[in-house]
Every structure is written in C-alpha cells, then in structure tokens.
C-alpha cells in the first residue's frame, strides 16, 4: 500500500494548492522576526482588526478567534451547557458537534434531514424545536458531509423560533457564494462561525466567530488567553494581505467541482448530490462503499468512507475536490472499480 505521503489526499477538504515560491520566501522572512520567547498577544487585537476589514465583517459586530473553529464550537458548547440542556443540529452533520456536546454534557439531538436531498423540512424542524427547546442550535451552511445549503427561509425561521442561541457554521463560505453575516444585526440570538482551514490554511488553525459584543464578551471569558499562537497570528496576517490568491483558488476549486460533479453524474452505478462546498457526497448502488474506499487506497487515492458513521449515509463516500490531475486520477480509478 502507498504511504500516506504518496497518497492523493481527498479526504479532509483541504485546499490542494500551495503558494508561489516568492510568497513563501517572503513569509519565511516575516517569521524570522517573531519573538518566540514572548507570549503572543492574548487579545489578537491587530489580527482581529485585519480579519474585520479583509472579510468585510459587519460593523458593530465583534470577533472571537479560536484555534480552528473546533475550538470555538467547544467554547460555545461549554458556555451553553447545563443540566437538561439540548444541543440540536441537522443530521447527517459535522461529527465534532456530537463529540463536543458529549464532552460538555449537553444532550445531543439530531434533526433528521430528508433522505432524498438532505433538505431541512420546515414543519418537522419547527416541531422538533418546540418539543426539545434547544439551548443551542448549530446549522452548517453548506452542510458537511452533504454539501448542500439549506433553504434560507427555513433557516431564518429556525433562528426566529429557537429559544436559545443559533450558530451558522460557514466553514465552506469561500465556495458557497452565500452567507448569513448580513443577518447578524437582525437577531440577538445569532452568531456566524467561519474558519480559514478549508480555504487553504488548515495547518495554521484559525477559526473566527462573529456576533454582537454581548455574546462575544461572555464567550471570551471561557477562551484560554493564548489560544492563538504567535506563528499563527503573524502568518495569518501575512496571508490575509494576499487573500485574493485564496479567493482565486476557491473559484478554481468551484469550477473543478462542477466538472467532477458531471463526471460522477454520468456514472450509472452511483448517485451524486450537488454541492456548494469543496467536496462531493455520493452513494454506491452496486458496490460496498467500504470496499470501494479500500480499493481506491490500493490505487493511491484516499477519500472518506461515511457508511455507518451516521444515520442516512448508507453506502456513501465523500471526495474533496483536488487539482484537475488529482480529480482525473480519482475519476478514472473510480470508473474502473464500478
Ligand atoms: C471542517 C469543519 C469545521 C472545523 O474546521 P477547523 O479546521 O477546526 O477550523 C467546522 N465546521 C464544519 C462544518 C467543518 O466541516
């Protein structure tokens, strides 16, 4: 079996592109001057201002930074935990929600998505919210692992009807062409969560949570003071100055996603779902997902087997959009197997 370094890695929604050599050289020269013997700025003041302007975040809203957005999910869950409190989220969904709610003793309650298209059915969703009265609702837009965006009006109704906090997780916003950022001023129980991981900086670990100062101040009390290390602070600032490069890479990935989607759609023995993220979910009809997964590894390609991981994902696999060459290798290996 090929070692993981040699594998074409399409399992974790990473950006497959690097940076030009001259940009890397400039970045390394910035890092030369970092005082690693000193503690980082605990409040990340300049990085937060930087994010505010580069990401065009709404004025009047504050930003909380996390060591990846997983860190922020944990901070929010810890803040909202208490006896009998419920954490609700669409299912199938992002696995960390369940794991974190278990760690902090929140009662996890999945909202089953419609089996055909993974949409959120409005009336069922509202009934579940009335029944369980969740303290915390997480909605990933687009959703992972299904890749779809939920109907905007349904999500808005959830925000209105939820008795507690609603967090819209926009981990894939760079590929989605849609956001709830502009709704923050309309609701006092809404926060928007993002990460730079899927855009191309997964190794640096930086997530950011945006919302009204009243919420962000409270959550900041739980955050450990030095959760963003000095190398990440300096490096992210450097890459934000060149953010247009990441935007262009995301555009390329979206174009290649559509090519890959059509190629998978042309295969008779699988169903592929449209995606607004940088990955595609598909279901095998005549083959076991586990054996397809294994045989792809034998051919040097790593994707994600989701069969058995959550309800609603029988015989499903998820592939990250890679470079055109990686996608071609994947398509030809897969069509050979099916
Ligand atoms: C990948 C992902 C995250 C976590 O990203 P970090 O690398 O921890 O910033 C959060 N939410 C969703 C829906 C994801 O898919």
Best probe residue, ligand 1, of 198, 201, 228 (max atoms within 8 Å of C-beta): 198
Please check whether residue 267 is in contact with residue 335, taking contact to mean a CB–CB distance below 8 angstroms: yes
Ligand 1 atom at shortest distance from the alpha carbon of 143: 13
pLDDT tens-place string over residues 135-158: 999 999 999 999 999 999 999 999
Residue 254: count of CB within 10 angstroms of its CB: 18
- Residue nearest (by alpha carbon) to ligand 1 atom 14: 171
Ligand 1 atom at shortest distance from the alpha carbon of 66: 9
* CA 62 to mean position of chain CA atoms: 20
Tell me the mean pLDDT in the region 166-172: 98
The per-residue DSSP string of 3-39 comes to -TTTSEE-SS--------HHHHHHHHHHHTT--TTSP
**pTM passes above 0.95:** yes
Ligand 1 atom at shortest distance from the alpha carbon of 71: 8
- Residue nearest (by alpha carbon) to ligand 1 atom 5: 69
Expressed in angstroms and rounded, the spacing between residue 33 Cα and the centre of ligand 1 is 31
Expressed in angstroms and rounded, the spacing between residue 134 Cα and the centre of ligand 1 is 22
Judged against a pLDDT cut of 60, whether residue 159 lies above it is answered with: yes
**pLDDT at residue 119, as a whole number:** 98
Expressed in angstroms and rounded, the spacing between residue 199 Cα and the centre of ligand 1 is 11
Judged against a pLDDT cut of 70, whether residue 4 lies above it is answered with: no
Torsion of CA 127, 131, 133, 138, to 10 degrees: -50
Expressed in angstroms and rounded, the spacing between residue 171 Cα and the centre of ligand 1 is 5
Ligand 1 atom at shortest distance from the alpha carbon of 206: 9
* Res. 2 pLDDT band, cuts 50 70 90: low
pLDDT tens-place string over residues 208-259: 999 999 999 999 999 999 999 999 999 999 999 999 999 999 999 999 999 9
Tell me the mean pLDDT in the region 56-71: 98
pLDDT tens-place string over residues 303-314: 999 999 999 999
Expressed in angstroms and rounded, the spacing between residue 286 Cα and the centre of ligand 1 is 32
- Residue nearest (by alpha carbon) to ligand 1 atom 15: 144
Nearest residue to 165 (alpha-carbon basis) of 88, 96, 62: 88
User: Which class for 162: exposed (0-12), middle (13-18), buried (19 or more C-beta within 10 A)?
Assistant: buried
Judged against a pLDDT cut of 60, whether residue 1 lies above it is answered with: no
- Residue nearest (by alpha carbon) to ligand 1 atom 12: 171
Share of the chain above pLDDT 70, in %: 99
Judged against a pLDDT cut of 90, whether residue 129 lies above it is answered with: yes
Q: Cβ contacts of residue 17 below 8 Å, gap of 6+?
A: 200, 249, 252, 323
Sheet containing strand 190-195, strands side by side: 62-66, 207-211, 190-195, 165-169, 136-140, 86-91, 107-112
How is residue 203 written in tokens?
């190794």
Best probe residue, ligand 1, of 64, 171, 278 (max atoms within 8 Å of C-beta): 171
Ligand 1 atom at shortest distance from the alpha carbon of 277: 15
Tell me the mean pLDDT in the region 197-201: 97
How is residue 90 written in tokens?
């669409």
**pLDDT at residue 6, as a whole number:** 83
Pocket residues for ligand 1 (CB within 6 Å)?
Answer: 13, 68-70, 94, 140, 144, 169, 171, 195, 197, 202, 207
């Amino acid at each position: 079996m090929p070692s993981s370094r040699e594998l074409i890695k399409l399992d974790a929604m990473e950006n497959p592109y690097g940076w030009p050599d001259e940009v890397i050289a400039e970045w390394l020269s910035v890092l030369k001057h970092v005082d690693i013997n000193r503690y980082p700025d605990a409040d990340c003041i300049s990085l937060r201002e930087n994010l505010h302007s580069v990401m065009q975040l709404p004025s009047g809203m504050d930003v909380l930074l996390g060591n990846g957005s997983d860190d922020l999910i944990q901070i929010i869950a810890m803040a909202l935990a208490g006896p009998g409190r419920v954490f609700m989220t669409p299912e199938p969904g992002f696995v960390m929600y369940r794991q974190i709610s278990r760690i902090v003793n929140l009662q996890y309650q999945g909202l089953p998505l419609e089996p055909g298209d993974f949409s959120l059915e409005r009336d069922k969703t509202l009934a579940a919210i009335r029944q369980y009265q969740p303290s915390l609702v997480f909605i990933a837009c687009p959703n992972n692992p299904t890749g779809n965006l939920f109907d905007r009006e349904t999500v808005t109704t959830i925000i209105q009807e939820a008795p507690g906090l609603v967090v819209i997780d926009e981990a894939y916003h760079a590929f989605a062409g849609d956001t709830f950022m502009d709704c923050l001023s309309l609701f006092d129980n809404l926060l928007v969560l993002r990460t730079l991981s899927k855009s191309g900086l997964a190794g640096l670990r930086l997530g950011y949570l945006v919302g009204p100062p009243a919420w962000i101040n409270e959550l900041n009390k739980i955050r450990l003071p030095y959760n963003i290390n000095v190398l990440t602070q300096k490096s992210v600032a450097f890459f934000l100055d060149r953010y247009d490069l990441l935007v262009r890479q995301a555009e390329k990935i979206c174009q290649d996603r559509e090519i890959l989607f059509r190629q998978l759609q042309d295969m008779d023995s699988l169903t592929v779902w449209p995606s607004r993220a940088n990955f595609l979910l598909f279901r095998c009809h005549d083959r076991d997902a586990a054996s397809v997964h294994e045989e792809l590894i034998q051919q040097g390609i790593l994707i994600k087997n989701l069969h058995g991981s959550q309800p609603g994902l029988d015989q499903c696999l998820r592939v990250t959009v890679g470079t055109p060459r990686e996608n071609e290798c994947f398509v030809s290996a897969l069509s050979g197997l099916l």
